[in-house]
Amino acid sequence: MVKPEKPGFDVYAFLASAGLGRRIIQLAPKEVFFWQGDPTDSVFYLQHGRAKITVVSHTGKEATVTLLSAGDFVGEEALVAASGRRLATATAITSCTALKITRDEMVRVMRKEHSFSELFLKFLLARSMRVQADLVDQIFNSSEKRLARVLLLMAEFDKPGKPEQYLPRITQETLAEMIGTTRSRVSFFMNRFRKLGFIEYDGRIKVHKSLLNVVLYDESSIHD
C-alpha cells in the first residue's frame, strides 16, 4: 500500500495564521510592539501596516533607524540570545496587524522547515543590504538626496508592483531624524519637491516617479 505524501509546509499560511507559539496582534497608530530594553522573547512578522524602529541614546536623544512595511520581520535579534534585551523600540505608524512568534517556535520552525529558513535568510540579507545602503547614503549624499531616497522607499518604488498612492502619515521631525538634518531643512526640500512636481503634499504625501531624478542625477540638474 502506497502511503500518501506528507503535505508540504506552506510558509505563507504559517505567517498568516495563529497557532502553537504564535498569535495575531492588532496595534493602533503609535502603539508599541516592544520597547528598547525589553526582553528578546519573540519575533514579529508584519502582515499589514507600517511601523518604525527608533533608538534612544543615554542622553535621551531619539533617532529613527528605519521604516517597516508589510512582509518585514521585526525583533529578529531575539534569535541571537535567549536572555538578551531589545536594542531599539518598534512602534506602529499606521494601524498594524502582526504575527507574534515566540523565540522557541521561531527556532523550531527554522530548523525544521527549509522554505521558512530560506525566506527568513532572504529577509536578513535584504535588510543587511538596506543598512549598508543607508550608511553610504548618510556618508556620501546630501540631505536633499537622502530625503528623496527615504520618500521613494516609503512609496515602495524599490519593490515590484504598483507603488503606494499615498504615504502613511509621518511628521517632518521623523523624516529629519531619519536623514540626519533639521525639520526646517526637510520643510524646505519638501516645498522644493512639490514645486518641481515630484510630490503632492497636502497633509498626505503622494510621491511621483520623477522624484527618482533627485537620486539618480546631480542636484545641480534640478536646482533651477
pLDDT of residue 2: 44
**Cell digits for 10?**
506552506
* pTM as predicted: 0.79
C-alpha 155: how far from chain center: 12
Distance (Å, rounded) from C-alpha 213 to C-alpha 204?
A: 21
Positions in the chain whose pLDDT score sits under 70? 1-7, 82, 158, 160-165, 218-224
DSSP 121: H
Domain ranges in the chain are 11-135, 142-222
Burial of 193 (0-12, 13-18, 19+ CB in 10 A): buried
Number of H helices, E strands in the chain: 7, 10
The architecture that CATH gives domain 142-222 is: Orthogonal Bundle (1.10)
Residue-level pLDDT at 164: 65
* pLDDT the model gives residue 107: 95
Q: Where would I find the H helices in 34-182?
A: 103-112, 114-140, 143-154, 172-179
pLDDT at 4: 45
For the domain made up of 11-135, the CATH class stated in words is mainly beta
Q: Which residues pair with 68 in a beta bridge?
A: 51
- What is residue 118's predicted lDDT score, i.e. its pLDDT? 95
Instruction: Look up residue 74 and give its DSSP letter.
Output: E
Q: Sheet harboring 73-74: ordered strands across?
A: 22-27, 96-102, 42-48, 73-74
What the block records as the C-alpha cell of 94 is 499606521
Contact (CB, 8 A) for 54 and 65? yes
Query: 3-state class of 161 per DSSP?
Result: coil
- In this prediction, residue 203 carries a pLDDT of 75
**Model pLDDT, residue 65:** 84
Q: Which three cell numbers stand for residue 69?
A: 512595511
